Amino acid sequence: MSDMLDTRASWLADDELESARERLPIVYIDAVPVRTDVRGQITSIGLLLRAMPDGTISRAVVSGRVLYGERVRDALLRHLEKDLGAMALPRVAPSPQPFTVVEYFPDPEVTGFHDPRQHAVSLAFIVPLAGDCAPSQDALDLVWVTPEQAAAPEFQAEMSGGQGRLVRMALAHCGLLP
């Protein structure tokens, strides 16, 4: 595709990224992958098992940076494919709208969303998937859980950095909190 973003020219070197993270909020996307029934009701939520920036292992949603010159929709598709595989078949609207915007801070007390590396502003989306998913890249595993399981305190404890709260916000947005 000729209009695809050349990511090689858009990446910062590690030292440049570290410097930018110290000075600027970085734009991210968060995607809560879901399966739906024929009526469009969410039946399950896909959560990754991954190594977090602080070295711990945690359940998480799909997340990643928006590159310079990259449309938000393209960033969503890129990160979904990177984490869930090429056959995930996400159904992303031509002009997607986030269900919320969250701010991650190095200080966990500011908003409850925590990223020890940076201040990040994340556009959060609920993304239905139509295909087969397989964890890839830095994702260690993928588990599908019911909305009730995702909202349970035991499962929430497996998520860090505010990810559990984000999943609960997605469930509330869809009217699925018990």
Does residue 13 belong to any structural domain of this protein? no
Per-residue pLDDT averaged across 84-100, rounded? 96
Nearest to 165 by CA among 118, 132, 122: 122
Upper half-sphere CA count for residue 62 (Cβ side, 13 Å): 32
Tell me: pLDDT of 98 over 80: yes
Tell me: pLDDT of 12 over 90: no
Does residue 4 belong to any structural domain of this protein? no
Does residue 8 belong to any structural domain of this protein? no
Mean pLDDT across the chain, nearest whole number?
Answer: 90
**Interatomic CA distance for residues 67 and 78, integer angstroms:** 11
Quote the number of domains for the chain. Answer: 1
Nearest to 81 by CA among 161, 7, 154: 7
- Partners of residue 128 on adjacent β-strands: 34
Does residue 147 belong to any structural domain of this protein? yes
Tell me: pLDDT of 9 over 90: no
Per-residue pLDDT averaged across 134-153, rounded? 91
pLDDT at 53: 66
Torsion of the alpha carbons at 29, 8, 11 and 100, rounded to the nearest 10: -10
CATH number at residue 34: 3.90.79.10
Does residue 15 belong to any structural domain of this protein? no
Tokens describing residue 161: 């950095």
Query: Which residues, 6 or more positions from 153, have their beta carbon under 8 angstroms from its beta carbon?
Result: none
Q: Which domain holds residue 103?
A: 27-173
pLDDT at 15: 82
Does residue 11 belong to any structural domain of this protein? no
Specify the pTM: 0.87
Does residue 18 belong to any structural domain of this protein? no
Tell me: pLDDT of 5 over 90: no
Confidence of residue 1 (pLDDT cuts 50, 70, 90): very low
- How many residues belong to the chain? 178
Which of these ranges, 9-13, 60-64, 123-127, 165-169, has the smallest mean pLDDT? 9-13
Tell me: pLDDT of 42 over 80: yes
Q: Which helix (H) or strand (E) holds 125?
A: strand 120-128
Q: Do residues 159 and 58 lie in contact, with contact meaning Cβ atoms separated by under 8 Å?
A: yes
pLDDT at 158: 93
Confidence of residue 130 (pLDDT cuts 50, 70, 90): very high
Does residue 91 belong to any structural domain of this protein? yes
pLDDT at 16: 80
Per-residue pLDDT averaged across 109-137, rounded? 93
pLDDT at 51: 81
